Amino acid sequence: MTNRIETARLLLRPLTLADAGVAYEWVGDPEVGRHVSWLPLHSMEETRAWLEEIAWEAHPATHCALPSPALADNYIWGFVRKDTSELIGSGGLIWEAQAGLFQVGYNIKKSHWNNGFTTEAMRGILAFAAAELGIKRVSGGHAKENLASARVLEKLGFVYDREDITPHVDGTRFFDSREYTLDLMQIAPASRDELHEIAVFLHECWQAEYRGIVRDDFLDTMTVQARHAGLLGWFDAGNKGFLALRCCGRLVGAAVFGQSFTDGFSKDGEISAIYLHHNYIGKGYGRMLFAKTEAALAAQGYRHFVLDVLADNVRAMRFYQKHGYTKVGDAHVQLGDHVYPLVVFRKDANDTKSEGMKNEGNRKF
């Protein structure tokens, strides 16, 4: 697992003791710390102690992997401008045991306020949290008077939860605060306007995953435009639905479902396609998307689900069988000048085995 994150204007990296002098410019600034429960720090000694506390190297067992949130500590990065190599702030994820969630936190030099750096950095950190750490939900908060921090949380998509009272660590004062939560992975029906983005995503998945299964001469002739036209046709005909799985706004998964066109199964609901970006495999997100897709078909009144898989995609067939799908027939599909055998699988809508799926590493394309 990498511990560096790159955004358009920033490089996010772990802080070290060598950063103490620069870090003290913001952690020791009373104005920066005016609305922060643990700031300001009052000396270089306190700054070095803080840097030692948050050092990634101090937690090798948990900062190389995250087997359980209960084993995690803090994940803090320094924000470095690419254009000047200047360290301008810090932020990350702080484990809150009582809430059972990671909480976001951030601070930046006053000279760099109101330039969007904090929002940009935290968006990168939240994407890292989902893809690398498997974190599905986070919390955030700000002193009610800290309107700038409120704007950051709102831009990141956080949803207001409640008001609270937060004590300062020195025990001398309290903040009236507002608390928020954010589901990092959000699944929603896709609109017609989103179909081009989905077409690009599906095209990239095909190119990456089907080399060696489908002939290269066919893959090389595929185009985003053709796929987009096909999705539009399904959408306008009203017989297919689309789900988009997004992480911090980025499309990382998609599903296509609806009326089955498979011979002999026209009364069934079909999962025509389900895709997950490779960075998000093994974190439970494929299970989420799969369950939502089956739920959408059940809501449309389908009592059985059907799907087909290329016969050479042995891993995918094992995956679907493991999660309640039974082989019910064979079929074929022509892709370019070559005909490929398919295996047809079916599942009763009352079978909830997909709820317990543990591995979403196989995708049907």
> What superfamily does domain 5-183 belong to in CATH?
Gcn5-related N-acetyltransferase (GNAT) (3.40.630.30)
Q: Which CA distances in Å does 113 have to 31, 151, 257?
A: 12, 12, 46
Summarised one tens digit per residue, pLDDT across range 293-342 is 999 999 999 999 999 999 998 878 887 888 889 999 999 999 999 999 99
Summarised one tens digit per residue, pLDDT across range 237-251 is 998 999 999 998 899
What local confidence, expressed as pLDDT, does residue 72 receive?
52
Residues of the chain with pLDDT under 50: 58-71, 353-365
- C-beta atoms surrounding 142 within 10 Å: 22
What local confidence, expressed as pLDDT, does residue 352 receive?
54
User: Tokens 């543990």 appear where?
Assistant: 358
What local confidence, expressed as pLDDT, does residue 68 receive?
42
Q: How many residues does the chain have?
A: 365
Please list the alpha-helical segments (H only) found in the chain: 20-27, 44-54, 60-63, 117-131, 147-155, 195-209, 216-219, 224-237, 285-299, 314-322
Sequence-separated (6 or more) residues with CB below 8 Å from residue 254: 190, 198, 201, 202, 242, 243, 244, 245, 273, 274, 275
CA neighbor of 142 nearest in space, from 176, 102, 183, 107: 176
> What superfamily does domain 186-356 belong to in CATH?
Gcn5-related N-acetyltransferase (GNAT) (3.40.630.30)
Q: Which CA distances in Å does 295 have to 123, 162, 184, 269?
A: 30, 31, 21, 11
Half-sphere exposure of 286 toward its Cβ, with a 13 Å CA cutoff? 22
What local confidence, expressed as pLDDT, does residue 134 receive?
86
CA angle 175, 176, 182 (to 5 degrees): 105
Residue limits of CATH 3.40.630.30 in the chain: 5-183, 186-356
